[in-house]
Amino acid sequence: MTYSEQLLDAIENHDFSQEKILLKQALDNDEPEVLASLAENLTNYGFTNLSKEVYRALVVRFPKEDLFKVYLAEILLNDGNDDDGLSLLYDVPEDSAAYLDSLLVQADYYQTNGFIETAKNKLMKALQLAPNEDAIKFGLAELDYMSGEYEQALALYQDLVESQKTFGEVNLVQREFQTMAKLGRYEDAAEVIRNNSSAILDIDSKYQAGLVMLAVNDDDQAIKYLDEVIDQSPDYVNAYPLLAQAYQHKHDDDQVLRSAQAGLAYNELDETLYSLGAKAAANLNDLTTAEDLLKKGLEIAPENSDLRMQLSNLYLHENKNEENLSLFKDLEDDEIEPQAHWNMALSYEELDNREKARGEFLLAYPDFKNNSDFLKQMIIFFNNEAGSQTVVKQLLQNYLKLVPEDDEMQDLYNQYL
């Protein structure tokens, strides 16, 4: 048994008392091939301090065997010894058999440290040396995707996917249709999904497939993939809003509400689910649930104006005018949107606070002067206000341009002629 084998046996048996002695004996007595195997095994076991000593000894004994420099450099870079690691890599000449390996380690280093263009340049050189090497194509595709060069990435992914559906742990089919989606080619992405359904196995691929199918309005397929995601991992919180949207497209309010409530059980911070769930509950005439969802949503996100407006509209429907007005009482003037002024005008009118109602109608008017519903409500209000004949006449003119067939409003306008 060689000293290298004895050292590895000791490590496997968790006996570290003799490791330094056995290592020295291995370096002094074992053949180079055995030492090279020892260094590789030590690295795999995580004993990089020992493997560095072996590689350093091999570099000294075989200075022209550049592969040892590459292996040592990779360990040094992983240990944060960048200068020494890069020096070894750049010491490998272009005519060396290890030059390709050196380029790949350099590319990995620069990518890890955020130097994407430099990493890409290294891989382009590597591809020239080994144009059929899939690992290089995949690395380039990932860099192109990362830097937004989606056309170039897609060409590489499509080349790879012709011979394999995965590369390592990466689903190439997902990469292909996801890159198409990034390019806005949703129909093409959906076609890839339909043609490769058996290859879409991992949970992230299913989620992305659901997202694409939702984008092309194939709601049934979107629901299929998103249901599989949730069945596989119920706490995959991003799937629930998409599932609720798919059911919303199908006008299935029961399932929208169920999806929203299920998603909120795992992520109570999802503002979209409060909104979708409340709309579905309101459509089902379950106004209590709708109100509860919107109130909870605003507790989580008090600055969410969409949730506030949904609740305001619900309060108007329920004739809860005091509650409606309270939604906006603590807001600054510049935080109140036009729809809120309209809603407040209606509540003040119902509460017979005509002065406040008048002011809110006037604040909302610039944004809704071409909205026939708003104009009609404003006309009815101001028609009962003393001294408002000129205003009502102007409002009627604007309204009748939009709804000339409204005989009632036409008759009212005729009274002002």
Lowest mean pLDDT: which of 17-26, 44-53, 64-73, 328-337? 17-26
Length of the chain counted residue by residue:
417
High-pLDDT (> 90) share of the chain, %:
78
Over residues 74-101, the mean pLDDT reads: 93
Q: How far apart are CA 414 and CA 327, in angstroms?
A: 40
pTM of the model: 0.76
* Furthest C-alpha separation in the chain: 115
Q: How far apart are CA 18 and CA 301, in angstroms?
A: 62
**Does the pLDDT at position 16 exceed 80?**
no
User: What are the tens digits of pLDDT across the range 283-323?
Assistant: 999 999 999 999 999 999 999 999 999 999 999 999 999 99
CB 200 within 8 A of CB 193: yes
pLDDT value at residue 169 = 87
Amino acid in the structure at residue 7: L
CB 190 within 8 A of CB 224: no
What contacts 24+ positions apart, CB below 8 Å, involve 249-256? 249/217, 249/219, 250/219, 253/280, 253/281, 253/283, 253/284, 254/280, 254/284, 256/280
Q: How far apart are CA 329 and CA 324, in angstroms?
A: 9
User: What are the tens digits of pLDDT across the range 232-282?
Assistant: 999 999 999 999 999 999 999 999 999 999 999 999 999 999 999 999 999
C-beta atoms surrounding 128 within 10 Å: 11
pLDDT value at residue 201 = 86
**Does the pLDDT at position 28 exceed 80?**
yes
User: What are the tens digits of pLDDT across the range 199-212?
Assistant: 888 899 999 999 99
Amino acid in the structure at residue 53: E
Over residues 343-361, the mean pLDDT reads: 96
CB 327 within 8 A of CB 311: yes
Q: How far apart are CA 103 and CA 114, in angstroms?
A: 16
User: What are the tens digits of pLDDT across the range 373-387?
Assistant: 999 999 999 998 888
